Amino acid sequence: MSTQHPVNVNGMEWAAQRGMGTLAEKMGMQFLEFTVERSVATMPVEGNTQPVGLMHGGAYVVLGESLGSMSANLWAGPGRLAVGVDINATHTRSARSGLVTGVCTPVHLGRSMTVHEIVVSDDEGRRCSTIRITNLIKDVPLPEELTRPEG
């Protein structure tokens, strides 16, 4: 088990090699900054709205979970995997156009658990949503563990 955390790793290169995942790509997310201490990504409002034209609350959560989980995985280090175990969001404003920006910062970086806060703001810098995610860090499963039923 590795407990070596990659504080000197180029996070943007790491994220580019790992990829954001198909959901993040479909939603138009773009990573701007990616380190253990701070991660930033944008997402367009267009294409991620409710029927009435407001940014969908679930889209805020997808942005937050993408930033928080990716940040936790960067912290976890080689041979380790971070998986989300809890997420919550408080939406305080609705974006209608432009981009929203998520800024992710750690609240707790432990050996087996991380907690991140993600603040999502509109183009005018107004807070739209505050998201908190907790990730469990565990060893990467061996191939035979992936196919074995749990229990």
pLDDT tens digits, one per residue of 66-115 = 999 999 999 999 999 999 999 999 999 999 999 999 999 999 999 999 99
User: 25 catalytic, yes or no?
Assistant: no
Q: What is the DSSP string of 5-16?
A: --TTS-HHHHHH
Position 28, amino acid:
G
Helix (H) or strand (E) holding 135: strand 127-139
- Predicted local distance difference test score (pLDDT) of residue 9: 80
State the catalytic residue, choosing from 13, 65, 145, 150. 65
CA nearest 110: which of 150, 82, 79, 151?
Answer: 82
